[in-house]
Amino acid sequence: MPGDAMKAAHEPNTFRPVILAVDDEPEDLGRVERELRKRYEADYRVVCEGYAEAGLQKLRDLKVAEANVAIVIAAQRMSRMNGVEFLARVRETYPLAKRLLLINPMDRETAELLPGAMTLGYIDFFEFKLGPPPNERFHRVVTDFLEEWTEPYRSEIHALVRVVGERWSRRVHEASALLERYSVPYSFYPVDSEEGRALLEEVGKSSERLPVVVMPGGRALVDPANREVADVFVSANAPSSGQTFDVVVIGGGPAGLAAGVYGASEGLSILIVEREAIGGQAGSSSLIRNYLGFARGISGQKLTYQAFQQASLFLKGQEVYVVGGANSAGQAAMHLSKYASNVTLLVRSGSLEASMSDYLIKEIEATDNVRVRLNTQVVGGGGEGRLERLVLKDSASEHTETVPAAALFVLIGAVPRTEWLPEEVVVDGRGFVLTGGDLLSDGRLPERWDLQRPPMLLETSVPGVFAVGDVRHGSVKRVASAVGEGSIAIQMVHGHLGET
């Protein structure tokens, strides 16, 4: 259990997680063992087994002994069970352990299996079998894995900020989310716990108004606004009054950051205005896939740590629900399946094919503790002080049923948050900003448009105002397209500046 692991994490001497390696070629296993012991033995226990069944038994024994397992490494070519099959089974005992497959360089047959094995979550990555030292590529993968695996523990051990509050309170959730997005290590102490009470006493605060957020140095903020918390950690360069910029970017998500980076690299002066924390939605995803150049995907921060914390709050056997039929819901379900015993994805439509990527559908199908309920809507719910039950309606039969529920994650699409825009910037019925050709009706220019030329591809109904990324009507809701649009908008900015 992560909760137990966290306790162990506070005692560095006993916190020596295991790195397990399995190969039935003694010479190859010896090489892996030597490399692992040389670099990691001070902080990790290196355990090696000569065949797959022994590896699985060792994992079961470690589980009984409540040991932590950080990485499992296996050779693909083994006589009785291949490496992919073995690593897929590691999920049964240690779903959070990172899994590395070692392959022979000329093994074309295995090379063909790899994309599927990664897509379905059987392995996290692969690397060639080790040769004589130096084996720096192997170590880079191992250290990357260790960095990812220890992330939640590091946050617990090196907490800069301590939060005391009600376990299920909305303000605790908001403050935690903000700290995560700023990558500030923090720990949470329920107000009814011994540690929570002791901390309140230490900083001289009562439990009447919560949460209490204890900053580095001991300053305690009582139910602070997000801004108060952010101000402690962010030293944004506020523009001086009267300062002018070539480009002002509203929003520091992938699209806005790309526009900022490309604009600055081309000599434009840029101001980026962000209301929460840089990174946008990408900072709230468990894993961004499909981004060129990152074969293993890029992990977001928020959901990872949040789910880790929540996992210690779930009680075994409780049901966790995710609402939504698109990629974000699928990813959330997959991610939560590592922590919760059962995850149910509630989908309003009759199939996932139209809304979710094929790789995710396959991954969900291959995961035992994720269930999909199609044609299902959430029509009610309740509980004492926290969610305890949901009312679900089957839209085909109209039948409703009440089910016990420990948590509900709602991933049903984003709202563009464009209410603040002046009416001159034309938006569609849902608030997404119209650009380029979408502004022309029957080939005619927009009503208040006073230039001879039509709006450029990403230009809005106001010359010189551009919309990029998810906020743009008709955009592809992907990191790569947001980054692409942010960067090409700069070319259009140059065009506009040339006109003025």
Ligand X SMILES: Cc1cc2nc3c(=O)[nH]c(=O)nc-3n(C[C@H](O)[C@H](O)[C@H](O)COP(=O)(O)OP(=O)(O)OC[C@H]3O[C@@H](n4cnc5c(N)ncnc54)[C@H](O)[C@@H]3O)c2cc1C
Query: Which residues form the interface with ligand X (CB under 6 A)?
Result: 250-256, 273-276, 280-282, 284-285, 288-290, 327-328, 331, 417, 420, 469-471, 477-480, 482
Nearer to ligand X, 57 or 290 (CB): 290
User: Does residue 345 contact residue 409 with C-beta atoms inside 8 Å?
Assistant: no
Closest CB to ligand X among 23 and 459? 459
Angle of helix 254-265 relative to helix 479-499, nearest 10 degrees?
40
Q: How far is the CB of 486 from ligand X (least distance, A)?
A: 7
Instruction: Give Cβ neighbours of residue 29 (< 8 Å, ≥ 6 apart).
Output: 21, 22, 23, 48, 50, 75
Which residue's structure tokens are 């137990």?
Answer: 4
Q: Is 121 helix (H, G, I), strand (E, B) or coil?
A: coil
What are 98's strand-pairing partners?
A: 71
Q: Which residues pair with 249 in a beta bridge?
A: 272
CA 299 to chain CA mean position, Å: 5
Shortest distance in whole angstroms from residue 425 CB to ligand X:
12
Which of 139, 289 has the CB closer to ligand X? 289
Query: Cα–Cα distance between 40 and 21 in angstroms, integer?
Result: 13
Contact 332, 340 (CB under 8 A): no
Q: How far is the CB of 230 from ligand X (least distance, A)?
A: 12
* Pairing status of strand 161-165 against strand 212-214: antiparallel
Nearer Cβ to ligand X (234/379): 234
Nearer to ligand X, 72 or 258 (CB): 258
CB of 477 to ligand X, least distance (A): 4
* Start-end of H helices in 286-357: 302-311, 327-336
Is 395 or 481 the residue whose CB approaches ligand X more closely? 481
Minimum Å gap between C-beta 95 and ligand X is 19
Q: Closer to ligand X by CB, 156 or 363: give it.
A: 363
150/13 Cα distance (integer angstroms): 15
Q: What 8-state DSSP symbol labels residue 283?
A: G
Which two tokens mark 491?
A: 């070319």
Report the side by side order of strands in the sheet with 376-382: 376-382, 389-394, 400-404
Least distance in Å: CB of 119 to ligand X?
Answer: 13
Residues 486, 499 contacting (CB under 8 angstroms): no
Distance, in Å, from the CA atom of 74 to the CA atom of 100, rounded to the nearest integer, reads 6
Residue 317 CB neighbours (<10 A): 10
CA dist., res. 53 & res. 58, Å (int) = 9
* Nearest to ligand X of 83, 254 (CB atom): 254
Q: In the complex with ligand X, which residue's Cβ is closer, 17 or 254?
A: 254
Residue the block writes with tokens 């050709």: 437
Nearest distance from C-beta of residue 63 to ligand X, angstroms: 30
Round to the nearest angstrom and report the end-to-end CA distance of the chain.
62
3-class secondary structure, 48: strand
Q: Which is nearer to ligand X, 202 or 353 (CB)?
A: 353
CB of 320 to ligand X, least distance (A): 16
What is the closest distance, in whole angstroms, from the C-beta atom of residue 27 to ligand X in the complex?
40
